[in-house]
Amino acid sequence: MLPLFEFEHVDVIREGRAVLHDLSLRVGFPEHVAIVGPNGAGKSTLLRLIARECYPVPSAATVCRILGQERWNVFALRSQLGIIEGDIAARFMPGATVAEVVASTLAQPDPGAVAEALERAGITPLATRDIRELSSGEWRRTTIARALVHRPRALVLDEPSSSLDILAQRELRTTLRALARENVGIILVTHHLEDVIPEIERVVFMQAGRVIADGPKTELFAPAPLRRLFGEGIELEERNGIYSIR
Per-residue pLDDT tens over the stretch 120-177: 999 999 999 999 999 999 999 999 999 999 999 999 999 999 889 999 999 999 999 9
Q: What is the pLDDT of residue 86?
A: 64
Name the average pLDDT for the chain: 92
* pLDDT < 50 regions, the chain: none
- Per domain, the residue ranges of the chain are 1-74+154-166+176-246, 81-151
Picking from 139, 33, 45, 16, the residue whose alpha carbon sits closest to that of residue 87 is 139
Q: What is the pLDDT of residue 16?
A: 86
Kindly tell me the burial class for residue 246, based on how many C-beta atoms sit within 10 Å of its own C-beta (0-12, 13-18, 19 or more): exposed
Q: What is the pLDDT of residue 63?
A: 95
- Distance of alpha carbon 137 from alpha carbon 135, whole angstroms: 5
- The answer to whether residues 56 and 49 touch, using CB atoms and an 8 Å cutoff, is yes
Using CA atoms in the order 126, 183, 151, 191, what is the torsion angle rounded to 10 degrees? 70
Beta bridge partners of 27: 5
Fold classified for 1-74+154-166+176-246: Rossmann fold (3.40.50)
- Distance of alpha carbon 53 from alpha carbon 99, whole angstroms: 26
Q: What is the pLDDT of residue 84?
A: 86
User: Quick check: helix, strand or coil at residue 12?
Assistant: strand
C-alpha distances (whole Å) from 227 to each of 4, 140, 172 are 30, 30, 27
Residue 43's H or E segment, with its range, is: helix 43-50
